[in-house]
Amino acid sequence: MIDFNNSKNAFGDKSDFDLNRAFFLFQTLNYPTISKFLTVILKVILSLRIPIDFLIKLTIFKQFCGGETISDSRKTIDKLWKSSIGTILDYSAEGQENEDDFKNVFDETLKVLDIAKDNPKIPFVVFKLTGLIKFNILKKLSKKQELNEKENATLIRFNKRLDIICKKAKKINKPIFIDAEESWIQNGIDSIVFSLMKQFNKEKVLIFNTVQMYRHDRLSYLMDLSQIAQKEDFKIGLKIVRGAYHQKEIERALEKGYKIPVHEKKSNTDKDFNNALKFCIENINHISICSGTHNIESSMYLLKLMQEKLIKNNDDRIYSSQLLGMSDNISYNLSNENYNVSKYVPYGPVKKVIPYLIRRAEENRSISGQMGRELKNILEEKRRRKAS
């Protein structure tokens, strides 16, 4: 079994300076009060447009992002690939609400597809539907509400762009991840992705939906989807994650008085996540998966499932993925044993990526012990280097 505590593998491509910067950042984020204060500061910087891009770029941006452009990210892409880790380039300009921004995300997605063509360093392309269409339209679609004339025109334009992206992905044979978002727009997203799967996942998996297993309905969702896929003869792509909007989901449900859609106990999320892995491996003939997790127990459980089914380490239907700058002990040790591994590498102009960085900090604050685990791994490597 893999030793996920092997810090030499995990940090082999990191300089002492890289380790010290990461240690400083995770130590800061490990204190909830300080971390919360920093996220408030980031929000103020964003709203007031304070010009301190250089400071953000040297610290939190450097740790969690590949660069401001695709070209800037090439060093990160090449560095990861030296350890046989693929890159999922994620143009992380969040909260887009106007046509110019949607056009920009569309153009960036096509650029990523261009450099991903015949490039094993970039195994997947990813985007959020809210990068291409207004949040409120997805909200209406989720509730099956009628769109007005202007919204219908926007939806037609969105569908054309989505069709161009997917057809280009099919032409170059590069799979697409479509990220999950808030529960109150997810039904609309699921419906759109379902149609894309039926259209593009006939021979092999090109389109992946994302399931957030902190939602208590997601296990039944993927089981139902599996039945439909077998009946209608198409394949399923699933990126399985725990979820990114936990506190937001709870607060909105309490405010509006509807049933909380997410597990309130982390143990229930963990259970559903592992059950989702088990179901997918048992149905691997028509389901391809990417296990997006920073959890060692779930990572080990996936390996156990693969061994029980005599599935090869590098079977291209199964990937693991972690975020750039986090859980290198999982990514690098899996890759070292010839498992398929990729890192999410966000990129974009510093100011446009700040909302992503805020969400990342808020999410990490809500994950019990995550920063402590990162610090423990870094300290172990620092001690190893000092002793050697």
pLDDT at 359 over 90: no
Alpha helices in 216-264 (DSSP H): 218-232, 246-256
* Alpha carbon distance 6, 17 (integer Å): 20
CA dist list (Å): 388 to 8, 11, 15, 376 = 11, 14, 15, 18
Task: Give the residue among 192, 239, 234 at the shortest CA–CA distance from 211.
Answer: 239
Of 50-59, 86-95, 130-139, 351-360, the range with the lowest mean pLDDT is 50-59
Task: Give the residue among 343, 339, 342 at the shortest CA–CA distance from 306.
Answer: 339
Name the residue type at position 236. I
380 in any annotated domain = no
pLDDT for 19 equals 92
* Alpha carbon distance 162, 202 (integer Å): 18
pLDDT at 368 over 60: no
pLDDT, tens only, 217-267:
999 999 999 999 999 999 999 999 999 889 899 999 999 999 999 999 999
Phi, psi at 289, each rounded to 5° = -135, 155
pLDDT at 177 over 80: yes
H/E stretch holding 75: helix 74-81
pLDDT for 294 equals 94
Structure tokens at 110: 């096509």
Structure tokens at 223: 């089981």
**How many domains would you assign to the chain?**
1
What angle do helix axes 16-29 and 350-366 make, rounded to 10 degrees? 60
pLDDT for 372 equals 80
CA dist list (Å): 325 to 52, 62, 66, 335 = 22, 9, 10, 16
299 vs 51: which has the higher pLDDT? 299
282 vs 42: which has the higher pLDDT? 282
Question: How large is the greatest C-alpha to C-alpha distance in the chain, in angstroms?
Answer: 69
321 in any annotated domain = yes
Residue position matching structure tokens 């890192």 = 343
CATH value at residue 121 = 3.20.20.220
pLDDT at 365 over 60: no
Range of the structural domain that residue 110 is part of: 67-349
| 4 neighbors 333 (Cβ within 8 angstroms) | yes
57 in any annotated domain = no
Angle at 169 between CA 164 and CA 172, to 5 degrees: 125
What SS3 class is residue 12? coil
pLDDT for 360 equals 67
pLDDT at 162 over 80: yes
* Alpha carbon distance 342, 126 (integer Å): 12
What value does the mean pLDDT of the chain take? Answer: 91
pLDDT, tens only, 300-328:
999 999 999 999 999 999 999 999 999 99
* Alpha carbon distance 373, 25 (integer Å): 13
Structure tokens at 222: 């993927």
CA dist list (Å): 79 to 83, 226, 319, 332, 373 = 7, 37, 19, 12, 24
pLDDT, tens only, 99-146:
999 999 999 999 999 999 999 999 999 999 999 999 999 999 999 999
pLDDT at 37 over 60: no
* Alpha carbon distance 60, 69 (integer Å): 17
Residue position matching structure tokens 């499932």 = 305
Q: DSSP assignment, residue 128?
A: -
Name the residue type at position 273. F
Burial of 199-217, coded b for 16+ CB within 10 Å and e otherwise, reads ebbeeebbbbbbbbbbbbe
pLDDT for 53 equals 65
What angle do helix axes 370-387 and 16-29 make, rounded to 10 degrees? 150
311 in any annotated domain = yes
